[in-house]
A and B are shown apart, each in its own frame.
Chain A
Amino acid sequence: MAVSAIRRYTPPTCTLEILAKQSVLSRWTDRTVFKDVRFHLSFDGPQRPHESRVTVRGDRDQLEGLCDLVEQYVQQVVGGQAEAVYATLLQPTAPIYPAHAPADRYPADRYPLPPSPPLQPDLNGHTSPRRREGMNGLDDSAPIILWSSQRREAGRGRSPYPPEPSPTAEPSSIGVRLANGLGLRPAGGLGHWLAFGSLATGETGASVQLSTVELFDLANALEEYRLEAIALPSSETSGWLGKTPPWMRVAAVAVLAVGSTTAIASLLYTQNAGLVSNSANQEEVLSQVESLPTADAPADQGVARESAPATVDAEAALDDPEAEPSDDQTADDQTAASTSADTPAASVPTDRPLPPPPSPSAPVTLQPQPAPGASTTPGTAPAGTLPTEPESIPPELAALPPVEAPAGTAASAPEVATSLQRAARPEALSDSAGQTLREAAPPSRVVSLPQVNEVRAYFQERWQPPADLDRTLEYRLTLGTDGSLQRVVPLGQTARLYLDQAGFPSPTAEFVSPLRGDRLPTIRLALGRDGEVRTFLETMTIPPETP
C-alpha cells in the first residue's frame, strides 16, 4: 500500500499542490514516483485581486497536459520573431487587474484588442508567417474578458476565448491548443489567455488571463514538479491494473523489478519471503514511521471524489456559450457526472519526453508493462510508455519544437533540464548523487512535527503587523538540525520588503527545539495583516553529506 504524498510548489504568483500516493517504485529512482495523482492549481499572487483568484483541479493526465501546454507555449514565445511577438503580446490593452473598479466600468466590448500592426521583416531577413488574426487564425479583435465578476459573467454570456480556427486558416506560430481544450495564446498587454478546457468549472470560468510573470511562475512550478516526480497513470483509468486485485498489482510490479536487474532483485527478495509480504516490508521502510497511517482505498477514493472538478466539455465551454455552466446548480450537476466525464482516456496527448533508456549501469526500469495482448490507449499507457503520437493529436502538437522531433533527443529532455539546472547551480550538484531527497510529508507528519507548532508560537508572540501592510506575508523557512533558522526565503515582493519587520531571529539565535533525525524541515510561515500566524510543513530534506 502506498503512502499518501503531497507536494506544494509555491512560486510567488501561483500554488501547485499535488495530492498523490507515493509508489514503492520511488525507492528505485532519483525521482518520486506518484500514482493516483490529483492536483490543485491556484493563481493566488499578491497582485491578483482576491475575487479574481482562481483554483482549478484535475488529475494526472490533465496535469501532464498542462505541463506540455505551458512548455510548448513558452518555447513558442521565446522562439518567436521579435515583430510577431510584439504584435501579439506586447500591444497595449486594458489592465489585467482592474483593481477597485466596479464591474460595469469594464464592459468587455469596450476593450477590444487593438489591431496588430503589419508585420515587418525581422532581423536577419526573417519574415514571420503570423498574421493579424493572432493565434491559430483567431480573431484578435475579440473582446477582452476582464477579471472579477466580469470574467464569470462573460463566461455565461459568451465564450471568453475566440472560436476555433477554421480548418483552412493558416496556423499562427504563437499559441497552443490541446485536444482536451487546454490552450494558451497571447492576449496583448503581456497577458496570456489560458483556456481551462476540461479543467473548467462553473467557478473557474472557461479561461483566465495570466500576466507574463504569472506564466513564468506557472512554468517553473510545473517544471519543478516534472523534475521531481514521475506520475504513473491513475489506477482508476488504467484498465488492466485497475481490474486486478491489489496483491497482483504488487506482485506484477515486483516481478518487473526482478526482471529489470538481478542486482536489485538480490536486495529485494530472500529465499523464504513471498512477493507480497516483501513488498509490504518495503513500504514500511518507505514510510519510515511505524505509526504512520497509510492511505487506505476508501480514503483515497474519497479524496479523489472530493477533488474531482466539475468538468464542462472543453469545446463547448469555449465555443458554445450555452454550454457554459451558469450557476452552482449546473456545476453540481456536472460534478455528479464528472466521474466519467473527466476520464481522460485518449484525450490528452502525453508527449512528455521520457528519460533515456537504461544502460547496463543505469537504474532499474520503472515502467510497468501491460500484460501481453493488453491494449494500450493514450489514457491508459503505463509511465514510461507514454504515447508520443496519439491519434487525436492536434495539429499544434505535430509541430513541436525540436526537442520532441528527433526521438533520440526527446528521450533525453528531462535529463537535459536536470543537468543544465545542475550546471547552472553548482550548489545543486549534490542532487545528482542522490543525497538530497525531498521526502513526502504526509499530513500526519505535518501535524506531528513539534517544530512547526513552535515556529507558530514563536511568531505569535512577536508578530506585530505594520499598519500599512495590506496582505499576508509568506516565507519559507529552513531549519537546522539544532533547531536554528538556517534560511528564510520571502515569497513575493511584499514579503521581501517587510523581511526586517517580520521578527526573524539571527542564524545563531535559539529558535525552536532541536530536530530528531537528520532530515531538515522546510516550513511555510504566513503572517497575516490581522496578526494571524499560520505554519505548515512543506518538505523534509536530507542534507548533503559533507566530504
Chain B
Amino acid sequence: MPPTVKSPVPSSPWEQFPLPPSPAPTQLDNIKAQLDLVLLALEALVGLGSDAMLQAAKDLELTHLVGDRVALWRLRQSSPLRKGQGRKRLDVEEAQALVLITCHLAQQQAELLRRAIALLEQLTQQGEEPHRTALLGDYLDNFSNLYEERMDETHTPAPDQLTHLALKLLIDLFFYSAPNGARRLWLALLDRAKP
C-alpha cells in the first residue's frame, strides 16, 4: 500500500499571511486607506452594498470579526481618509478578514472585471475616454460620487487624479479576482507598510 501523506492544513485561513514587521502608525494608515479604497471600487463597479460583504464574511466564516453592519462600518471607518471622528484601530486579523472578503467578492465578479479591463484596454489603445462606455462611465461616476460622499474633503484629489485612482483600483481588482488574489492584495498592502 503506498503511503498517503497529507499536507498540514492551516487551522485558520489567515494564519499563513506573512505578518508585517510592526509597521509604524503612518504605514498602518496606508493599509487601512487602501483596503477601504479597494472595497469602494468594488462597490462602484458592482453596486454591491454591505449585505454582500456580510454574506461574504459569512461564507468565509469570518462573522466573529465582521458580524454585522456596525462592525463592518467601524472597520471601514478606520481609513484615515474617511470623514468623521473616533476612528477605530484596525488590527491585523481584521485587516486580513477584509482582504479575504474583498477578494472573495472580486472572484464572484471576475467576469465583469475581465470585461471592464478588456474594454479599458480597447478604449485606451484607441485614445478614447473611458467615460464613453456605459460600464466604465458608470463605474467612474459611482466611484467619484462615493469618494466625495465618504471621504474627508481635505483628502479629495483633483478630478483627473481621482479618475486615475479609480482606473488603477479597477486593474488591481482584476488581479485580485484570481484564485491567489488575497495573497496579492495582502502583499500589496504590506508593500505600503514599508517605511
Q: Is there contact, CB below 8 Å, between A267 and B3?
A: yes
**Does A211 belong to the interface (CB within 8 Å)?**
yes
Q: Is A27 an interface residue, CB under 8 A from the partner?
A: yes
**Chain B: interface residue count, which band?**
35 or more
Taking the nearest CB of chain A, how far is it from the CB of B161, in angstroms? 6
Shortest CB distance A530–B (Å): 27
Complex partner residue of B4 from A359, A415, A434, CB under 8 angstroms: A434
Chain B nearest CB, measured from A47 CB (Å) = 8
Among A27, A75, A419, A425: residue with most chain B CB under 10 A: A419
Nearest CB on A from B143, distance (A): 12
Name which of B107, B118, B180 has the most chain A CB atoms within 10 A of its CB. B180
CB distance from B164 to the nearest CB of A (A): 4
Contact with B along A92-135 (1 / 0, CB 8 A): 11111000000000000000000000001001101000000000
CB distance A82 to B165 under 8 Å?
Answer: yes
CA distance A433 to B4 in the complex (A): 10
Q: Could you tell me the distance in whole angstroms from the C-beta of B114 to the nearest C-beta in chain A?
A: 6
Residue A507 is within 8 A (CB to CB) of chain B in the complex: no
Q: Which of B113-154 contact A (CB under 8 A)?
A: 114, 117-118, 120-121, 124-127
B121/A424 in contact, CB under 8 A: no
Residue contact A402 to B187, C-beta cutoff 8 Å: yes
A85 to B168, Cβ gap below 8 A? Answer: yes
- Report chain A residues within 8 Å CB of B124: 90-93, 189-190
Name the residue on B nearest A74 (C-beta).
Answer: B175
CA distance A258 to B185 in the complex (A): 41
| Contact assessment for A220 and B178 in the assembled complex, using a CB-CB cutoff below 8 Å | yes
Partner of B161, one of A120, A282, A401: A120
**Are B5 and A30 closer than 8 Å at their CB atoms?**
yes
Mask of A398-412 contacts with B, CB within 8 angstroms, 1/0:
000111001001001
B52 at the interface (CB under 8 A from A): no
Instruction: Give the complex CA separation of A95 and B127 in angstroms.
Output: 9
Residues in A neighbouring B5, C-beta threshold 8 A = 28-30, 264, 363-364, 434
Interchain CA distance A479-B190 in the complex, whole Å? 43
Q: Provided the pairs A89-B171, A416-B183, A426-B59 are in contact, do residues A79 and B192 lie with their beta carbons within 8 angstroms?
A: yes
Assess A30 versus B155: contact at CB under 8 Å? Given A96-B121, A189-B124, A216-B178: no
Say which residue of B16, B127, B161, B190 sits within 8 Å of A83 (CB atoms): B161
Q: Tally chain A residues at the interface, Cβ within 8 Å.
A: 72
Chain B, range 1-45, C-beta contacts under 8 Å to A: 1-10, 13, 15-21, 29-30, 33, 37
Q: Judging by beta carbons under 8 Å apart, are B21 and A406 in contact?
A: yes
Task: Point out the residue from B121, B179, B185 that lies within 8 Å of A212, measured CB to CB.
Answer: B121
Q: Interface of A with B (CB < 8 Å)?
A: 27-30, 74-75, 77-80, 82-83, 85-86, 89-96, 120, 123-124, 126, 189-191, 211-213, 216, 219-220, 223-224, 263-264, 267-268, 282, 285-286, 356, 359, 361-364, 401-403, 406, 409, 412-413, 415-426, 432-434
In the A-B complex, the 8 residue pairs with the smallest Cβ-Cβ separation, listed nearest first, are: A409-B18, A423-B13, A86-B164, A82-B168, A79-B191, A363-B5, A79-B188, A416-B16
Besides A92-B127, A123-B155, A211-B121, 6 other A-B contacts (C-beta < 8 A): A75-B191, A90-B167, A123-B157, A356-B8, A409-B18, A416-B183
A-B contact pairs, 15 of them (CB 8 A): A75-B188, A77-B175, A123-B33, A189-B124, A190-B120, A191-B125, A219-B178, A220-B178, A267-B3, A282-B2, A401-B187, A402-B20, A403-B183, A422-B13, A433-B9
